[in-house]
Structure formats: structure tokens, C-alpha cells
Structure 1
């Protein structure tokens, strides 16, 4: 094992323990060579070690597969990115009649369709689950006009997956397997739990009082597959990275080089913590270096990172099986970028003082469907807490934030990267906030925090 890998292995063991992550696997592609490191177990009850072939849920990195299969169908002439999707789904019902007429596939793939994006619609595990979920989209409020605002949208990718399976006349999971996974030799990637059960796989864990415990649930429904349902191994994730960085495939590439490049090409400005969005792929920076990335979080049970630096043909992916992966993954990514690629560390940003009276202007609950971020003033400081619905028990603890820009905050304990940008209306009132790629509307808190 190279010295750098030995150093990272020690850190991986340490960081996973500190973050209460039972098992984690890291894959690195650099200079054409692949490295895989693993720590811990797939299940705290069975204590089976994880390795490079263990399947994890990759969560929202699944969206990059959805976008790629949609563009493969576009290459076939079966759909066009800028045609209204109602041309492919004439029975589609949406809450807003104008949006129904104007939303395009491109809107879906760039998180700008405007209807509510963070909703889980459980329609069972039959082959019609995705179709049944889309039939309920008329209950989703049209929060923004189509094309007006970037706001990360799981439901948008569910609808994109439905368009794909309709024009191809093939169930979504079968379509992705035939058009992408098989041509790339990704035999350890699949959507359906009964396929996963026959393989070595990690289960998700909840963390209570610092200790992980097995969560006896998958964490999402079949209908959410196009948005986040793929299981994969770190070795398969490196195959996905290699294809997008170099075009290398075992056989005939599933999409052309021009289409592959189009998936990463910037399409529009994104919401914090991203800068731009391509067709599903998200673009950020590490200092001056331009990253193309994704990653995912399945109900805080399995968390992943997938980060590439195209200029260096570099990629790193981190798969974990507890909410602590949100802490572990970025540490691994930063270490790899700084110690393997040689990028300078991202520096902390100076903080700006704010009076308690001014902090009160930002207090409130900023909602985007079932996900919300609550800001409260405590002892002269602003505190934030991410909340999934009203389930505070499974929500991470609140944390103090500090201003690093006029209306921009970061975690007070780590100001290297801003986490939330507040948005004002024409009268100067704070009415929205960008966080986690979402653009969320402000509500007043209705209970004591």
C-alpha cells in the first residue's frame, strides 16, 4: 500500500469511529490507477466487514444515471430536452396548468421545474410504482414558475425517470441496467432490494447517543429510484467515474463523447451549497479548482460522496452506512484533494458581527416539502437545525452559525464553506433561504425551539 494510502487508512479508521459510522469504503481514481480503502462493518449486529465489493445505497448520485439514460434516449431521437414533457406524458396532471404546458425535460434535469421537490410518495414495490407516484403529482404545489429558480428536486427526477420509461416502453430499472450498467460492466449496481439481498451489502444505521443501531428499513420507496434508489459498490462507482472522466468503457460506450460532456457542462446558476448545475451533475469549487460532483443521503441511513476534478482526471467516492457519513465524507474528500492532487486547503472565512436585533430578521423555518431548516436566536447567536418533517428525534442537533457575507452564514465551528444564503424580496425582507441546494420559503416558527 502506498504511503499516502496508509496515511488515509489510519485517518479513515479514526474519522469513522469519531462520526459513529459503522462501515465506510473509499475509492480513488488518480493517474489512471484505482485505490480502495475500507473500514468497519456492514451491519453492527452481524459485524461482517465491508470491502470494495460491498453494496451501499448511493442516494442522489443515482440522478446522474437518470440523466445519462434520458440523454441516451435523446440520442436515439425518442425525446428532446426542450420539448414540454406533456408531449410524452399526455395524461400528466400538475397543480399549475401553465407549468404542465411548459415544463421540459431540461427543467427536470436542472432542478428548475418549480414544483415541490422534497416529498416521498410511497406507492409500493410493484413495477407500476413510479407511474402511480407520478399520478399524484397534481398535489405538489408549484412553488416557483417553471425555469425561474434552481431548487434541488427529487420529484423532478422521479418525473424524468417516468418520461424515460414511457418513451422507451421499459421499466426504469431495466432501462438503466440495459443502457448503462451492462455496457459499463457495472454488475454490482442495482435498484431492487430483492436483487441486493443476494449480494454482500451494507444496511443503514440510526445513531442515538453516539451509538449506531441497525435501521430496519430501506429508507425510500421504489418510486424514488430515479432520484436516489441505486445500490452500488465502490468499484462500480470508480467505473462510473472513469467513464465520465475519460470515456473508457468495457465495450461500446453507452453515450457519445459529446453527450457525456453535455452532462457536465454548466446549464445555470445553482443554489448554495452549489455554484452551477449541468444536466444532473453539480459544480462547486475547492479554492480555485472546479469540481464536478454529486453524492447522496438516504434518510440519514446511508450517505455518500462522489467528487471529480476533471482537469486532473481525478475522482474520489465515499460510501457510508450512517448519518455520520455527512461528517466523514467531506473530510476524506478534502484530504484527497489536498494530499493526493496537491490543492491548497480551503481557508476559513472571517466572520461578521451581527446584533441580536439584526439576527432576529433571519429567524424562522425555511421549508421545502418534508425538509426544513430552522433558525433561532440563542444567547446572542444564530443557530440552525435541519429537520425532516416534524421528526426531531431523528434530526441532527442544532449548530451555531456565523455570518461570512452580507446574508450568508457558515457553521461557526468551520467557516471554510458557506452553508446558507438568505434571499430578500423587493422590500428588503428575508423571505427565502438557499441551503443544501434548496431554495426554501420562510415560515414563522409555530412551536418552541
Structure 2
């Protein structure tokens, strides 16, 4: 018996089991993406979109339609989309980095950083409460009376949580916006500068902006309003930069997902900060809330994922309980987040176990169920090639 050949055969079998499957072909990806997203574009009159998948170290990008209908400018890999509440995942990265640098603790009460809110309910919230929407009653948007920083502070002093219902999850641009303000203050900079200097540039995200620079305006898509179909872009508003103000292209967003997957080396403190944003903190009926990221057990049913992205989860306070210890493991977890402005709709999901992530950017605010459902279907189809 030739033991050398047996050993070689065993080694080959071992490698076959341990090496990842060959990534899917570009042609196969384009066909699958078109099959999923062309019907969505037709049904909801989506002017244009960019869909990207990062899988086994390779990027796949599908673009379709128009970034600007009037000027007949097509969507391409350079097109800048408003990412809406996906901006919040960058906000919490800045906050976690501030903690890594001992500039603040996420367990600090708000009043430690804004003393004039001492002895007020908002001042008693922790920074982690702000990062996980665990406020019990903060509204989705800043109230109309908060037209500037002074009037916002007056309103925050008067704010009261929902009485008699405990410490609930209330998805809020106010909570995340104030976290961004406090984090930037810890760095001694305005928010946009603090984010750019300490997160965007160190992560080499060269085409992600709060304010799109003049030379890049030619790449900035128009969004299209649902009701009027008018070409629009995001309006300035209180806490807009912190809560929903970023614009980015498909390449930068895929890189951001690669960084969250741990597939790209970044500065050590930033890597630790990003990992901290993944840790589960509170439990809701459909998912575990991390710092903005929503954690679902994988595999997850389409029905559960859609339930977790239902409009009620953003518009109404929901029961939530603080975990006795953080959920740190990323095994068997799907991370998910939607983002929208009046003219744009996006979605991001990634699975560390599968080394895969997906980004959807569109210049129409497509309803959440078909938006998330289509993205989930494409993820499933790509992963099917690895089975």
C-alpha cells in the first residue's frame, strides 16, 4: 500500500473541506440581481439603484436606472446616494471610539456631558440608552418647536418619558442625534469634522460625506418623492448630520461592511470600537438591539426579518429589556439596518459566519417590506451557490 498517496489524498480532502467555495461568477450575480430587483423597480417606479454584495473577499455590484432623470444621468459605481439612518451606524462608531480613547464612557449619564440637563429625565439617560433607543418615549423626529440649539435644549429640559410603561425602545433621531453631539464634543470638534477626522478618513472611506464637496456634486443623485415624483434632496434639519445626513456610494458602503465583517485591517482602536457597536444590549420581540445594529439569529425566517423592519418598530415605543450581560458572539447572527430619507431608501445586512454582506441604495423610498424582502432574497440566492 502506498502510504504517500493515501496521505496526499487525505490532505486534498481536508483542504476541500476547509477552503471556501469558489465565489460565484459575475454573470451569475448580474442575472440574480436583475431577477430580484427589476420587478421591484417596475412596481415602485424606482428611478435608479445600486446593489452590492461582498462575499468571500470579492465584490459584486449591480447598477440600474437613472441618478438624474431630467439630465439622463445613469447610476454607476460613483453615484452618491443619501443613506438616511444608515448614518446612525457611523455615529455610534464615533461614540464607541470616544470610549476607546477614554474621552467618555457609554455608561455615563447625559447630564455628565450636558450639565444643564442635570435632574431632568433626559439627563438621567445613559449614552448607551441613546445608542440603543432605550428611552421610553422620545419621538422619531425633533419637535417643530426645536428650531435651533437653544430651543432644542428648552424642549429636552421639559421632556418626560412615557409614564408607567417602563424603559422601552423608542426609535428616535433625537436620541442618536444627541449622542452624536456629545461624542463630537468629547473630541472637541463639530460633529461633521469629528466624524470625518476620526472615522471616515481613518477607514479610508473617501466618498462618504455629510456635506458633498463641490467637485463631487456631479455624482450626487436626485431622490424622487413618493407622492409627487419631484426630484428632491434632503432638507437641513435639527440633528440631521448625526441621524440621517450621510451620502455615500456603493464602493464605500461595501468597504464599510467589509470592515464590519473584519475582512479589512483598520486602526486597532477603530476596530475595537466597531466590534463594540455589534454587541447586543437590549432584547425586543423580534431582535436584539445593539448600538443601532439589529441582531437576528441566523438562519432567520423572512417573516421574522420583515416583522423586525415593520414601520411600527420605528414609529411606536416597543417593550425592550436590558440584557444582564452583553451578547458578544457574532456566530449565528445576521446584522441588519435600514435607512431612508424622503427621496432615498437603503438597506444593509451582513453575516460574519458566511463572510457575506449586502448593500442596497436606491433613489426612491421604497416601502420597507419589499425593500428588505428583495435584499434578503438576493442574499439567499447568493448563499445557495455555496451549498
Aligned pairs for 1:58-97 within 5 A: 58-92=83-117, 97=119
Cα deviation digits, residues 107-145 of structure 1 (max 9, x gap): 1011112342312457999xxx66764454235442258
* Offset of residue 281 of structure 1: 0.9
Who is 2:314 aligned against? none
Q: Does 1:3 align with 2:18?
A: no
- Alignment RMSD (CA, Å): 2.9
**Partner SS for 1:64:** helix
Who is 1:410 aligned against? none
Aligned partner of 1:283 among 274, 295, 302: 295
Q: Does 1:165 align with 2:184?
A: yes
In structure 2, runs of 5+ residues without a counterpart are: 1-25, 302-331
Q: Residues 138 and 171 of structure 2 are in contact (CA less than 8 Å); yes or no, is this contact kept in structure 1?
A: no
**Partner SS for 1:237:** helix
**Partner SS for 2:229:** strand
Aligned counterparts of 1:221 and 1:153: Cα–Cα separation in 2: 14
Aligned counterparts of 1:99 and 1:33: Cα–Cα separation in 2: 48
Who is 1:233 aligned against? 249
Aligned partner of 2:38 among 13, 17, 21: 13
Aligned counterparts of 1:45 and 1:184: Cα–Cα separation in 2: 35
Q: Residues 302 and 321 of structure 1 are in contact (CA less than 8 Å); yes or no, is this contact kept in structure 2?
A: yes
Who is 1:242 aligned against? 258
* Offset of residue 293 of structure 1: 1.2
Q: Does 1:191 align with 2:205?
A: no
Who is 2:345 aligned against? 303
Aligned counterparts of 1:180 and 1:321: Cα–Cα separation in 2: 25
Q: Residues 122 and 159 of structure 2 are in contact (CA less than 8 Å); yes or no, is this contact kept in structure 1?
A: no
Aligned partner of 1:113 among 132, 135, 156: 135
Cα deviation digits, residues 205-236 of structure 1 (max 9, x gap): 1134xxx7234441452522211111111111
Q: Does 1:324 align with 2:366?
A: yes
Relative distance call for 1:39 and 1:108 in structure 2 (3 A) is same
Q: Does 1:292 align with 2:335?
A: yes
Aligned counterparts of 2:206 and 2:164: Cα–Cα separation in 1: 40
Cα deviation digits, residues 66-110 of structure 1 (max 9, x gap): 1110111111111011121111111237xxx45244211011011
Which deviates more from structure 2 when the two are superposed, residues 215-224 or residues 260-269?
Answer: 215-224
Which has a greater percent of helix? 2
Relative distance call for 1:100 and 1:287 in structure 2 (3 A) is closer
Higher relative contact order (CA 8 A, sep 6+): 2
* Offset of residue 277 of structure 1: 0.5
Aligned partner of 1:339 among 381, 384, 387: 381
Cα deviation digits, residues 273-332 of structure 1 (max 9, x gap): x41101121123553663111121113x21100011121121001001112263553243
Q: Residues 178 and 239 of structure 2 are in contact (CA less than 8 Å); yes or no, is this contact kept in structure 1?
A: no
Aligned counterparts of 2:130 and 2:169: Cα–Cα separation in 1: 10
Relative distance call for 1:30 and 1:247 in structure 2 (3 A) is closer
**Partner SS for 1:315:** strand
Q: Residues 293 and 337 of structure 2 are in contact (CA less than 8 Å); yes or no, is this contact kept in structure 1?
A: yes
Number of aligned residues = 330
**Partner SS for 2:337:** strand
Which has a greater percent of strand? 1
Who is 1:252 aligned against? 267
Aligned counterparts of 2:133 and 2:352: Cα–Cα separation in 1: 23
In structure 1, runs of 5+ residues without a counterpart are: 345-449
